Amino acid sequence: MPHFIGADCIGCGSCKAECPVDAITEGTPYVIDPDKCIDCGACAAGCPVSCIVQK
């Protein structure tokens, strides 16, 4: 189940830096490509505002 970045995203880029498969693109909020996401959870662990959840 891929992860989703919620509206509380502050655009810091921590999640993008943590993603091992480059599944996250910049935006407001950042966006996770569900076809690339391998559900490792690295992005959620790196998020300072805990706005990344599984969908």
Q: What are phi and psi of 30, to 5 degrees?
A: -60, 160
CATH number of 3-54: 3.30.70.20
Q: What's this model's pTM, rounded to 2 decimal places?
A: 0.88
Chain segment 20-31, per-residue pLDDT in tens: 999 999 988 999
Measured CA to CA, the distance from residue 7 to residue 20 in angstroms comes to: 23
Measured CA to CA, the distance from residue 35 to residue 50 in angstroms comes to: 22
Measured CA to CA, the distance from residue 49 to residue 30 in angstroms comes to: 13
- The domain limits of the chain are 3-54
Measured CA to CA, the distance from residue 7 to residue 36 in angstroms comes to: 21
pLDDT at res. 7: 92
